[in-house]
């Protein structure tokens, strides 16, 4: 398919990153948020990230200006009518995502592909609320989107070969390496990642090691770029908990059960980098 304009629903941490990489790859981008305040904050996040790219020599000032000029913000999904592909990047809640998909399905041309940036939820369930189930798939980006090279493409039993091939071509144009993941909770990465983070939290919760020693041991002993507790803060403890709960509900395995400490921290608003404090203090 000839994809020229990409819509992104949500301009939070993930959505703003998706907007940036799409604009820098030469696509016209329409991004929607729930209200003007959130939209302004999201677009400012995009501008700041692009400017960091300029300061680090990743993009020229001229290229940055052109990329930012390709982005148009809105608070009305009706403005997505020119889009050829729309990527949903709202909160990890099935009911909210289904509502977005129903709305988009009623607005967009029948040939437009609908993708979800979900990190754990059923793509088939999202496809089932539309009249285009063959044109629905998961496009799971990783944080920070402009830096992380992987894009998980989640193909449901309803996704067509053409839709998958188009998503693979888009991924390549965005500079991402794509893998095809099964439409099962957690896909590939989070199905392996969440138990790892959970075990690290349990180790810390039990008082067996300090958070610094846990992270240092993994960084230096396994050559990871960051330790599991630092990674949990980066992902967001609320997102980690949401994915863990989905995995535990689906598989019923103890390794996916969220530890009490994680649940208490989320309830207290200690969500990691996004809130300024998680296992570590970023204020």
Sequence ranges of the domains in the chain: 5-182, 189-274
Question: How much is the CA Rg of the chain, to the nearest whole Å?
Answer: 19
Give the pLDDT confidence of 140-162 residue by residue, as tens digits.
999 899 999 999 999 999 999 99
**Structure tokens that stand for 266 in this block:** 């989320």
Print burial letters for 175-213: b (CB count within 10 Å at least 16), e (below 16): ebebbebebebbbbebbebbbebbebbbbbeeeeeebee
Residues 204-225 have a mean pLDDT of 98
Q: Indicate the length of the chain as a whole number.
A: 283
What pLDDT was estimated at residue 1? 72
Q: Which residue numbers are catalytic?
A: 119, 140, 152, 190
**Structure tokens that stand for 171 in this block:** 């991924």
CA dist 87 and 26 (Å) reads: 16
Please give the model's pTM, rounded to 2 decimal places. Answer: 0.92
H or E element in which residue 86 lies: strand 85-88
Q: Where are the alpha helices (DSSP H) in the chain?
A: 13-24, 36-55, 61-69, 94-107, 123-127, 161-173, 189-205, 211-222, 228-235, 237-251, 260-267
Paired strand residues for 138: 116, 154
CATH H-level superfamily of 5-182: NAD(P)-binding Rossmann-like Domain (3.40.50.720)
CA dist 226 and 217 (Å) reads: 10
Domains 5-182 and 189-274 share a fold: no
Under 8 Å between Cβ of 259 and 198: yes
CA dist 153 and 149 (Å) reads: 13
Give the pLDDT confidence of 129-145 residue by residue, as tens digits.
999 999 999 999 998 99
What CATH class has 189-274?
A: mainly alpha
CA dist 217 and 211 (Å) reads: 10
Give the pLDDT confidence of 231-270 residue by residue, as tens digits.
999 999 999 999 999 999 999 999 999 999 999 999 999 9
What pLDDT was estimated at residue 116? 98
CA dist 113 and 239 (Å) reads: 25
What are the residues whose beta carbons fall under 8 Å from the beta carbon of 261, sequence distance 6 or more?
201, 204, 205
Give the pLDDT confidence of 8-44 residue by residue, as tens digits.
999 999 999 999 999 999 999 999 999 999 999 999 9
């Amino acid at each position: 398919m000839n994809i020229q304009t990409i819509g992104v629903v949500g301009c939070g941490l993930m959505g703003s990153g998706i907007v940036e990489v799409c604009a820098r790859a030469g696509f016209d981008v329409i991004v929607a948020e729930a209200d003007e305040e959130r939209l302004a904050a999201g677009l400012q996040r995009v501008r700041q990230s692009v400017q960091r790219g300029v300061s680090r020599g990743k993009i020229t000032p001229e290229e940055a200006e052109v990329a930012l000029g390709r982005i148009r913000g809105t608070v009305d999904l009706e403005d997505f009518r020119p889009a050829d592909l729309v990527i949903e990047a709202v909160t990890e809640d099935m009911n909210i995502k289904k509502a977005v998909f129903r709305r988009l399905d009623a607005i967009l041309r029948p040939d437009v592909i609908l993708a979800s940036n979900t990190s754990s939820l059923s793509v088939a369930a999202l496809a089932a609320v539309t009249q285009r189930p063959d044109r629905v798939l998961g496009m799971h980006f990783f944080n920070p989107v402009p830096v992380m090279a992987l894009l998980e493409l989640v193909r449901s039993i309803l996704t067509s070969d053409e839709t998958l091939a188009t998503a693979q071509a888009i991924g390549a144009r965005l500079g991402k390496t794509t893998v095809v993941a099964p439409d099962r909770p957690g896909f590939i990465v989070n199905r392996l990642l969440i138990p790892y983070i959970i075990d690290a939290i349990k180790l810390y919760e039990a008082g067996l090691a300090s958070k610094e020693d846990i992270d240092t041991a993994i960084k230096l002993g396994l050559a990871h770029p960051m330790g599991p507790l630092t990674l949990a803060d980066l992902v967001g403890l609320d997102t980690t908990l949401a994915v863990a709960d989905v995995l535990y509900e689906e598989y019923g395995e103890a390794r996916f059960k969220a530890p009490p400490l994680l649940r208490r921290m989320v309830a207290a608003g200690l969500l990691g980098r996004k809130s300024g404090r998680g296992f570590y203090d970023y204020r």
